[in-house]
Each structure stands twice: as C-alpha cells, then as structure tokens.
Amino acid sequence: MEKAVEGAIGKSVEESDYYRTFIGPGDKYDQFAAMQFNLLTHLGLREGNTLLDVGCGSLRAGRLFIPYLLPEMYHGLEPVEWLINEGVKCQIGEDMVRIKKPVFSHDENFTLTVFQKKFDYIIAQSVFSHATKEQIRRCLHEARQVMTPTTIFAATFAEGAEDYAGDKWALWATYAMETIKELADEAGLVCRPLDWPHPDLQRWVLFVTQDFEGTIPDLSGGENLMLVKKESEFCKERLAKIENHPYVVIGFKISRLMRLVGFGINNAMRWFRCDK
C-alpha cells in the first residue's frame, strides 16, 4: 500500500500531507472532524464514555475525540496501518498517545469484537459509502455484539435509487434507505434516519438495539429553538426585575437629571458665546 502511494504522488507519505487527502477532501479535513465530534457530543457523548471509531483513518475525528475522552476510552479500527501512524505523528503526537492511551486495531474484516468490550458509542463516517453490502452486513452484525441497550451507533451512507452490487471496496457505493434498514433488522438492530448535515451529502443514520433503553435528543432544531425562546423569556423577566429595582430606578432618575443639567449648561455656553 505504501509503495503504491509513493508511486502515485511522487514522494513518500512522510514527506507530504497525503494522509489527509487519502481519506477525503483535504480542504474539508477539519470540517469532517468537527461534524463528527459535534454530533456525538450532541447525542450525549461524555469524557467517561467508551467510543469505537470504525474506519478511523488518519485520526481526522480521532484528534478531537482522543483528547476529549478519558484514557483508554477511544478505540479506532483502521486496516491501513500507515494512516494511523501518520495521524499520530502529525495530529496528536506520541505524548497524547502516552497520556490518553487510545486503542487501535488493523483488522480488515470489520471485526469489532476484537477489542473484547462493549461500547457506549460507535461511529462509522464515510465507511458504508464505499463498502459492499456484505461488508455492511458484517459490520452491523459485529456491532450488535459490542452494543448494549443504551449504545448509539451513528453512521453515514450514500443514498441512491440503486444498491451497489459489486463485491469490492468502491470509490462510491450507493444504497437505498430501505436496504440499510433491512440490513440493520437482520443484525437485530433498528435504523433511524438522522437529520444532521454532511459536507459530502451523505445520509446520517443511527443504529440502536431492538431493546433500546436510552434516549436520543431531538437534533431537528425545534428543541434548540424552544431553549432559545425560554432563555429569551427568562432574560426579559430578569431585565424587568432589574429595571424596577429601587436603586436602578434612582439611578435612571439621576442619569436623566444629569443629561438635563448637561443640556442646560451647553445651551448657556452657546448663548454666552453668541452674546459676545
């Protein structure tokens, strides 16, 4: 893999930032990272939660998750080993690895059980948009084995009218929403479409167990608008109380008096100058 990269770009991986463009648009590297971090924190991710980043690549999102989470809470699955090595070297550094102790696997067959633990959150961003149907099926079945009744698995896929029928990793593989839901059902999971923006126009979905006991916040915007409205009303009430406080009322009266006095002095000075 590494030799193929050298031949394609004319210089070694170590001499370039190809680790960024290898996994997507280089000019959106930061945007893709922020999108994933913001989504999971909106969904409830806290520093003490365990996270599995499927297809973590060069730690595009990992560079935000790893410092945020407590030690040994971040787990990354990436078959291309040099990508993780470059991510560590160029994005987080060895000291961060020593402090936060992220756990990595280079398994090539979506073996999520390789970590031998359950996860609170799982994310697979821009993975199913390149995968075969069998690979997605394998990933979802493995995910079910490492999920609890409160686990949230967020993933993206490229939605299209026709399903990708190939048997190899593709540059772009589309699937119908119904197909993704059927694959989830086969794995004992429930697929819920999610309204969350994506720079590459992929669709977000959430997978949860059929006996899901957690809560999924409303990310459609309505809840946020209600919070803003309540906060606005609260501020108006506080402002009204402040304005009606005796000391504030006296202050307003003194302020108006000072303005009147100042107005009178200015007029007197103008009259004095004109009279001369």
Q: How far apart are the first and last CA of the chain?
A: 93
pLDDT at site 194: 96
Q: Which residues of 159-196 are buried (b: 16+ CB within 10 A; e: fewer)?
A: bbeeebeeeeeeeebbbeeebbbebbeebebebeebeb
**pLDDT, tens digit, 9 for 90 and up, residues 202-223:** 999 999 999 999 999 888 754 4
Q: What is the CATH number of domain 2-215?
A: 3.40.50.150
What does the domain layout of the chain look like in residue ranges?
2-215, 223-275
- Name the one residue in this structure whose structure tokens are 């999108």: 35
pLDDT at site 3: 32
**pLDDT, tens digit, 9 for 90 and up, residues 69-110:** 999 999 999 999 999 999 999 999 999 999 999 999 999 999
Angle at 59 between CA 188 and CA 200, to 5 degrees: 70
pLDDT at site 10: 40
Q: How many CA atoms lie within 13 A of 41 on its CB side?
A: 12
**pLDDT, tens digit, 9 for 90 and up, residues 137-193:** 999 999 999 999 999 999 999 999 999 999 999 999 999 999 999 999 999 999 999
Angle between helices 246-275 and 222-243 (to 10 degrees): 70
Contact between 105 and 134 under an 8 Å Cβ cutoff? The reply is no
- Name the one residue in this structure whose structure tokens are 């550094």: 93
The answer, yes or no, to whether residue 258 has pLDDT greater than 50, is yes
